[in-house]
Structure 1
Amino acid sequence: MAVESLGSAPRVKVAPWNDPVIRGWVFQIVVVGLVGFLAWYLVSNTIDNLQRQKIASGFHYLEREAGFEIGDTMIEYSPASTYARAIWVGILNTLRVAVLGIILSTLLGTIIGVGRLSPNWLLSRICSWYVEAFRNVPLLLWLFLFYKLISEAFPGPRQAISLMWNSVFLSNRGVYFPVPMADPIHKWMGLAFLVGIAGAWLVARWARKRQEATGQPFPVISASLGIMVGLPALVWLAGGAPHHMSWPELKGFNFAGGTVIQPEFTALLVGLVLYTSAFVAEIVRSGILALHKGQSEAAAALGLSRGQAMRLVLLPQALRVIVPPMTSQYLNITKNSSLAIAIGYPDLVASINVTINQTGQAIENILIIMAAYLSVSLSISAFMNWYNKRIALTER
């Protein structure tokens, strides 16, 4: 007897409003339309109100003369510069604090986190007190404290503390020290330094592959430092070894010549580093404790010292746990740098604040702040996500 082949069951026709696929698309289109309508209403209402109150809009003001001083700049700036350049100065100052803060807080936080795991009772207690003190006090209070300590602990320029054979001076206006005078060879030295960084990365990559193949370690740190310092030094020698210096000298009520590290910058950087390193220390400690104790026992069985076991065995494995929460701390450093306005450091927020007061165009300036912080934060997140994928375990 022939057996009829069983085909797929016929699809039951349903009304379009009962089809989950069609219903899902309709809901999404409605939500997007409502959001778009709300955005259009807010923008159009804002434009109408600005026109009614005869308030200028747009970004044409960026080309006008700023007319205000900025005390700490990384590039040439004067009151005759444009608002765009003033804002760019603020962005560079914010990036300087953020980059230095990320590097220093990572180093200090790692040391403190490892110190909390030390068998030395006194060392572990000191690290624990440090973490609890900085984690449980608002960052703004630490910034106020460090700024007052720096500005009041040192005398004025006329009574400045002299160090290193009258070449470095400490005062309540900052730390003054000599710097090389500008020379065309310096740009080539900077380029050589960047080449040295690339060379150090290649050396580290080669050393890792060599160790995986032969088991022989290579002094990567010393070799990398030699490349990054040696190449600029060779360029400097090839350029005639210019050694003319600009020395700080007391003239009137302040120093002239050399360069200065402003107390506002010092207070902000110290506060950010000490505060964030307390959180980094806990992340590092928890990452190490997440590893099985057999890893430490195996390292000890191989004859590795505690320092070697930490550097070669524990920390490389703990990075897979440490990196994701560290991303949040790096973002916090960047965003917390906006508190600089409380102690007078001319970061992006300070430059924008003065610009708003002079131009009255708050919406455009706030959008610039949001775009700047969003760009920096997304860049940090993208880099850390790339690094996290790079160190992740790959399944076979």
Structure 2
Amino acid sequence: MALDTTQTHDGVLREKPEPFWLDPKKRAIFFQILVVGAVALLAWYLISNTVANLQRQKIATGFGFLGKEASFEIGESVIAYDASNTYARALVVGALNTIKVSFIGIVITVFLGTFIGIARLSSNWLISRLAAIYIEGMQDVPVLLQLFFWYAIFYETLPSPRQALKPMHGVFLCNRGLVMPVPEWHPAYGYVFLAFAAACLMVWGLRRWARKRQDETGKTFPVFRVSLALVLGLPLGVWAALGAPFAMSVPELRGFNFRGGTTWSPEFMALLLGLILYTAAFVAEAVRAGIQSVSKGQREAAMALGLRPAQVLRLVILPQALRVIIPPLTSQMLNLTKNSSLAVAIGYPDFVSVANTTINQTGQSIEGVALIMLVYLIFSLSTSAFMNWYNKKVKLVER
């Protein structure tokens, strides 16, 4: 193929520069600049048009309202709050309520979904069928309907506080929620928490040492039992050394309500149960798919080495299945967090509910919706970052 050349003044033939629209790299850069410019122009138009309309209707803009008095109560909160606090504190309370239900829900969902996923593959026909019925039933019922169902159970089925169910001493279940005793705060509990954190660090180092020792010598170490002894024994030892404080705040019925202890409201319980039971069905399917992705030869080889079924599952099957389980598990964690925004339908004061109240009082819907989007974006990115880090830690290293 003949090259496109040109003759310079010194008589040397040189290759003629190719037009940029024929160069794939330059053309790609040009189109990217064009798209970015179009998006920026559209954003400028929408923002300027919105600001102009707000000014025309004399609607205040900006986030100055966050420092004003909220003047509304919030039914339950993790931190102290009253109506005289600012909108900013009210939104923080809503965000903490969302974190509370999401964190507890994710932890329980992972354990429940893993258990049901393993039960789905059980050789016992009854256990396998029950797990399959649970998975199909929960997946086919919308989560919002499940929230309404559990909310109705608490308010329509459970008795009043005077006739509250008492499954164990100090624990009451009624239409006011789940009421149970909690330990009264003591300075020793701070040192117990530090001991627990130290035990976790020791367990992490022990696991690394045991894995390295096994790779070098082939000898196994009872990591689980020693780790359990550390995690339980060290905090208990510190607690006993500091006098073993065990004062409990036990709830008592006084008048028409309970005093003392802690109460998980019907809204919180309904939201938590609905999210856990719904999401656990999808987690169970991810666990089942991950386990089935491991070839049967792996199980047979492990059994031939003399490993017990529990050891085969823990040491051979699950480590290989995690690379299939973790990506969909991350998606289900994100779904649970985002589905918690449905709490507004049953009256639980999560971030969306508090933000909606703020919007109704201030009229600044654009800022309110922007805050909702920002908060859930932070929640999602944080969860994804943690799960991506964990995925890299547990992935199989090919040699």
Using structure 1 for the length normalisation, give the TM-score: 0.91
- State how 1:82-231 maps to structure 2 within 5 Å: 82-165=86-169, 167-231=170-234
CA distance 1:233–1:67, change in 2 (3 Å): farther
For the aligned residue pairs, the C-alpha RMSD in angstroms reads: 2.0
The answer for the alignment partner of 2:72 in structure 1 is 68
Question: Quick one: which amino acid aligns to residue 269 of structure 2?
Answer: T
The offset of 1:185, in angstroms, is 3.4
SS of corresponding position for 2:15: coil
| Residue 392 of structure 1 pairs with residue 375 of structure 2 | no
Structure 1 Cα separation of the partners of residues 82 and 50 of structure 2: 34
CA distance 1:214–1:264, change in 2 (3 Å): farther
The offset of 1:391, in angstroms, is 2.3
Contact kept, 8 Å, 2:267 with 2:347, in 1: the verdict is: yes
Per-residue deviation, residues 213-256 of structure 1 (Å, max 9, x unmatched): 33343333343333333343344344443333322122222111
The offset of 1:343, in angstroms, is 1.4
Per-residue deviation, residues 248-300 of structure 1 (Å, max 9, x unmatched): 12222211111111121111111111111111111111111111111111122
In terms of mean alpha carbon deviation, does 223-232 or 24-33 score higher? 223-232
Q: Structure 1 unaligned runs (5+)?
A: 1-8
| Residue 56 of structure 1 pairs with residue 60 of structure 2 | yes
Structure 2 Cα separation of the partners of residues 74 and 224 of structure 1: 31
Question: Quick one: which amino acid aligns to residue 119 of structure 1?
Answer: S
Per-residue deviation, residues 280-337 of structure 1 (Å, max 9, x unmatched): 1111111111111111111221222322211221111111111112111111111111
Using structure 2 for the length normalisation, give the TM-score: 0.91
The answer for the alignment partner of 1:6 in structure 2 is none
Per-residue deviation, residues 116-150 of structure 1 (Å, max 9, x unmatched): 11111111111111111111111111111112112
The answer for the alignment partner of 1:20 in structure 2 is 24
| Residue 372 of structure 1 pairs with residue 391 of structure 2 | no
Question: Quick one: which amino acid aligns to residue 161 of structure 1?
Answer: L
In terms of mean alpha carbon deviation, does 16-25 or 65-74 score higher? 16-25
SS of corresponding position for 2:78: coil
Give the length in aligned residue pairs: 387
Once the two structures are aligned, what percentage of the paired residues are identical? 57
| Residue 262 of structure 1 pairs with residue 277 of structure 2 | no
The offset of 1:158, in angstroms, is 1.7
Structure 2 Cα separation of the partners of residues 215 and 151 of structure 1: 58
Structure 1 Cα separation of the partners of residues 71 and 233 of structure 2: 43
Structure 2 Cα separation of the partners of residues 353 and 50 of structure 1: 19
SS of corresponding position for 2:133: helix
Structure 2 Cα separation of the partners of residues 245 and 391 of structure 1: 41
Contact kept, 8 Å, 2:352 with 2:372, in 1: the verdict is: yes
Question: Quick one: which amino acid aligns to residue 328 of structure 2?
Answer: P
The offset of 1:10, in angstroms, is 5.5
The offset of 1:153, in angstroms, is 2.6
CA distance 1:226–1:261, change in 2 (3 Å): farther
Structure 1 Cα separation of the partners of residues 339 and 131 of structure 2: 23
SS of corresponding position for 1:176: strand
Question: Quick one: which amino acid aligns to residue 255 of structure 1?
Answer: F
Q: Structure 2 unaligned runs (5+)?
A: 1-12
SS of corresponding position for 2:99: helix
CA distance 1:242–1:391, change in 2 (3 Å): closer
The answer for the alignment partner of 1:331 in structure 2 is 334
| Residue 319 of structure 1 pairs with residue 322 of structure 2 | yes
The offset of 1:11, in angstroms, is 3.4
Question: Quick one: which amino acid aligns to residue 36 of structure 1?
Answer: A
The offset of 1:98, in angstroms, is 1.5
Structure 2 Cα separation of the partners of residues 168 and 289 of structure 1: 41
Structure 1 Cα separation of the partners of residues 259 and 209 of structure 2: 48
SS of corresponding position for 1:72: coil
The answer for the alignment partner of 2:4 in structure 1 is none
Question: Quick one: which amino acid aligns to residue 245 of structure 1?
Answer: M
CA distance 1:226–1:150, change in 2 (3 Å): farther
Contact kept, 8 Å, 2:320 with 2:396, in 1: the verdict is: no
The answer for the alignment partner of 2:275 in structure 1 is 272
